[in-house]
Amino acid sequence: MRCPFCSNEDTQVVDTRSNPGTNVIRRRRRCAKCDKRFTTYERVELRMPRLVKKGGSRTDFDRDKLVGSMMLALRKRPVATEEIDAAVDRIEEKLRSLGEREIPTTRVGDLVMRELARLDKIAYIRFASVYRSFESPEEFREAVQEVKSPRRKRK
């Protein structure tokens, strides 16, 4: 592992912790040259299904793009980064467990909506307004009602 500070390749693992349930291993490392410490994460790499967009084009799943979308909805909201990472891990796990080679992006959007509803109601509304292309205040009201009464069936 290369040191992110001085690019030295001689680093030592100081501490290793596995996170049960997420299949992620956290390693604290120390650079032998500059003596700075940093954290790395190891995650099992499994093939994710390809995404089929509304127009029919296909694209590879991109975890960073998913995190970016969620971070945008959660901007200036009191949600820890660890909670966002855990939500993205759950979405990835669900997509893998489907066992399909291709998945419509609408299915991913629905999973994101479900996770955002758990994390933060305001972020849910923000994401829903873009994802569902709200065009009127009534559509905002309906989304707020969904958040207030979660038993109601979502469209």
- Which pLDDT belongs to residue 136? 80
Domain ranges of the chain: 7-45, 47-148
What's the whole-number average pLDDT of the chain?
87
What percent of the chain shows pLDDT beyond 90?
A: 55
Confidence of residue 19 (pLDDT cuts 50, 70, 90): confident
- Residue 104 near residue 126, CB atoms below 8 Å: no
**Cα 15 to Cα 4, 126, 141, distances in angstroms:** 18, 39, 49
What's the mean pLDDT in 92-117?
Answer: 91
Kindly report, residue by residue over 117-145, the tens digit of the pLDDT: 899 988 988 888 887 777 788 887 887 77
Quote the tokens at residue 75: 């901007």
143 vs 127: CA distance, rounded Å: 11
What's the mean pLDDT in 62-81?
Answer: 92
Q: Is the pLDDT of residue 154 over 60?
A: no
Q: Is the pLDDT of residue 153 over 60?
A: no
Quote the tokens at residue 96: 């893998």
Q: Is the pLDDT of residue 10 over 50?
A: yes
This prediction's pTM: 0.63
